[in-house]
Structure 1
Amino acid sequence: MMAMPETSANDDLNTSLHGLPPELQTALASLVDPVLNESYLSLDALQIDTIEPLALTVRPGYPMNSKLAALSLGLRSRMDIAGFPGTAIRLEPDVVPAPSPAQSGHLAGVRNIVMVASGKGGVGKSTTAVNLALALQAEGASVGMLDADIYGPSQRTMLGVAEDVQPELVDGKFLKPIVRFGVRSMSVGYLSAEKTPMVWRGPMATRALQQLLEQTIWGDLDYLIIDMPPGTGDIQISLAQRLKVSGALIVTTPQEVALIDARKGIEMFAKVGIPVLGLVENMATHICTNCGHEDDIFGQGGASKLAAEYDLPVLGSLPLDKSIREGADAGLPSVVADPMGPMAQAYFRLAHATGGQLWKQNLRSGEPAEILLTES
């Protein structure tokens, strides 16, 4: 073993690697995050605790409970191969908050707000949002979810919340979110009967959503997932402008009509200064349950082409599978119905990709411009 410079865990070794042997610098640079495929050094997530013996702490910026064991083994193996056998590596995932100023009121404890949107209805946006929230929670994050699809709220059904369950009222004006599968949720559907339509004009609907957001006692959250209404109308724009949003996901199908509307969604978020984290391609393929034949029912490669056009990643590609629909209808989304099944694993990959992309953005971006809503 080569001689190491004398130092302690309190030395600022993370600010600069100067003074460390080149072999150690090379070894540390080889420790790569499996989702972002970038070194933990470049992501400012590596801490040298001691040199003799060599001990490291790695802090990935997204929840990854299911990856911890394999990642720890892989990182130690890399250090062994690099000539530093026996390196002690501690993994401490820690969700990185958005660089924007803290939210106010009951949103003050929310570290990241993520909007899940689509340019049109019927592409699986709500199913994606629910399973994303559940996957992030299962991976170790504290997660809340707002059902902002005010004319067609579906969260009560998808989460299996009984019809007679309503949010608890606190001090006559605040609401406690309903907790289901560990996720704190709020929906206008919790406050009205299932068969009662929301006959509201745009301004009234916008104010109702704003009240739900501000009067819900969210507590401390790593992520607040907002299931947005489909389209790019007044409600979407007003809500996007009023909040300090960390990022947005655009859900689409490979179908050309859906891609046209997804493009409008990307452009809308650009106009209000909200970064799009990436695209989610839903119903990408269908596999026949009888013969196993895979068919591109809605087209092929559409999301990839759109992502390339805007220099965005495709964060997830999900098949058309009846188990996803059956689980959502039964109040048992794929992530909780069959956590080890292929559909759930696709959502876990989406959660990792979304969390990783948000981590990188939060780490490297400056404070986004705050856009204020102007009442007409």
Structure 2
Amino acid sequence: MAFTEQDLLAALASVQDPHTGKDFVSTRAVRNVQVEGGDVAFDVELGYPAKSLIPELRSQLIAAARTLPGVQNVSVNITSKIIAHAVQRGVQLLPGVKNIIAVASGKGGVGKSTTAVNLALALSAEGARVGLLDADVYGPSMPTMTRTSGKPDSVDGKLMEPKVSMGLQINSIGFLVDEAQAMIWRGPMASQALEQLIMQTRWDNLDYLVVDMPPGTGDIQLTMAQKVPLTGAVIVTTPQDIALIDAKKGITMFQKVSVPILGLVENMAVHVCSNCGHAEHIFGAEGGKRMAESYDMDYLGALPLKMSIREQADSGQPTVAAEPDSEVSRIYKDIARKVAVKVAQQSKDFSSKFPTITISKKS
């Protein structure tokens, strides 16, 4: 029984993207459709990295195509194309970086750095080119968490070459100062150092640069929010009321400088006893989820208070690298995809497409 390309597209429209809830046909993700007798072939182009989802999506699309009578062989090629998205008005994109994601918290001790490094590793595991910038000038932790050290190299004497570990391009103020040295810098000096760290690193074709922000809403955070081209911010908090109060300040700061909030991660949401399995909400239950709802922002997910997460980060092998198939890694990867989808849904960056206009007065 003969079928047309339109018949095939109608069948494929029954498959929905699990993160957007939309089908791949109406969003024009299905491309290069070919129908030859009983053989069909087509591509699906995602706007976010989703390597772990591809086998299941391919199976669903093949099954949908085979609902048409006469279909014999189905060839599906699923790829991701990540583009640059809009940033704050008047701020230019960073060379070699498409999107910058700030991971922030209103206060310290909520697991922001651990979340940042695992988010970066999860985006990389899903197929993206990812960088990690340690912007916590007063307490850099990425050298330890990524098992990297030493002064950055420079090919031209102007730009620093990022360290490479676990597939990530990494730079940190911790590479430039002695580990035991106290960073006794006033706000403007620290802000300038951070600005140089970001702008003078030779990032190599990154889809995402994840920035581990220092806690709080002071000079450094304001410099980041005003001068660095941020695609969006992820807020990390615990369910505890005091942590939530400070997280609100971080949310307000990003809103005032027009940086989109990509969502909220609730860390240390529940502790499960390693001996008896008893679950206990040490810092309160679902406080972050309620706050996300009250601010009308995406609740990206909840992570447990688990000793292995801390131990793996301290050893230089964060959870997504140490146990890529574990339940905790699955949560991190789910959060990473949600963040990437949120980025993909934002306005595109058209700054590089505007023509140069020269006005002159001829006599």
TM over 0.5: yes
Match for residue 214 of structure 2 among 203, 220, 229: 229
Structure 2 gap ranges (5+)? 352-363
Is 1:232–1:268's contact at 8 Å kept on the other side of the alignment? yes
How many residue pairs are counted as aligned between the two chains? Answer: 347
Is 1:32–1:39's contact at 8 Å kept on the other side of the alignment? yes
Deviations along 1:52-108, one digit per CA (max 9) or x if unpaired, are 443221111111222222221122123334667444321011223214599868x22
Q: Please state if 1:30 is matched with 2:18.
A: no
Deviations along 1:260-297, one digit per CA (max 9) or x if unpaired, are 11111111111001100100010011100011011111
Aligned to 2:78: 91
Alignment of 1:94-109 (within 5 A): 94-100=81-87, 107-109=94-96
Match for residue 134 of structure 1 among 121, 141, 151: 121
Q: 1:291 to 1:114 in 2, by over 3 A?
A: same
CA distance in 1, matches of 2:301, 2:98: 23
Deviations along 1:15-69, one digit per CA (max 9) or x if unpaired, are xxxxx35xx4542322211223222234332214224443221111111222222
Structure 1 gap ranges (5+)? 6-19, 368-376
Q: Please state if 1:194 is matched with 2:179.
A: yes
Match for residue 118 of structure 1 among 92, 105, 125: 105
CA distance in 2, matches of 1:3, 1:245: 47
CA distance in 2, matches of 1:257, 1:80: 55
Alignment of 1:309-328 (within 5 A): 309-328=294-313
Three-state SS of the structure 2 residue aligned to 1:59 is strand
Q: Please state if 1:180 is matched with 2:165.
A: yes
Is 2:270–2:305's contact at 8 Å kept on the other side of the alignment? yes
How far apart are residue 120 of structure 1 and its match? 0.9
Opposite residue 119 of structure 1, the aligned amino acid is: G
CA distance in 2, matches of 1:2, 1:262: 59
Aligned to 2:63: 77
CA distance in 1, matches of 2:294, 2:97: 32
Q: Please state if 1:57 is matched with 2:43.
A: yes
Deviations along 1:183-210, one digit per CA (max 9) or x if unpaired, are 0110000111111011100000010001
Q: 1:217 to 1:289 in 2, by over 3 A?
A: same
Is 1:102–1:108's contact at 8 Å kept on the other side of the alignment? no
Opposite residue 127 of structure 2, the aligned amino acid is: G
Three-state SS of the structure 2 residue aligned to 1:27 is helix
Is 1:249–1:280's contact at 8 Å kept on the other side of the alignment? yes
Q: 1:239 to 1:65 in 2, by over 3 A?
A: same
Aligned to 1:361: 346
The CA RMSD over aligned residues, in Å, is: 2.2
CA distance in 2, matches of 1:115, 1:157: 20
CA distance in 2, matches of 1:210, 1:67: 37
Runs of 4+ with deviation above 6 angstroms = none
Q: Please state if 1:208 is matched with 2:193.
A: yes
Deviations along 1:90-135, one digit per CA (max 9) or x if unpaired, are 1011223214599868x22211110000111110000000011111
Percent of aligned pairs with the same amino acid? 47
Q: 1:173 to 1:246 in 2, by over 3 A?
A: same
TM-score, normalised by the number of residues in structure 2: 0.89
Aligned to 1:167: 152
The more displaced of 94-103 and 173-182 is 94-103
Match for residue 263 of structure 1 among 248, 251, 254: 248
Q: Please state if 1:68 is matched with 2:61.
A: no
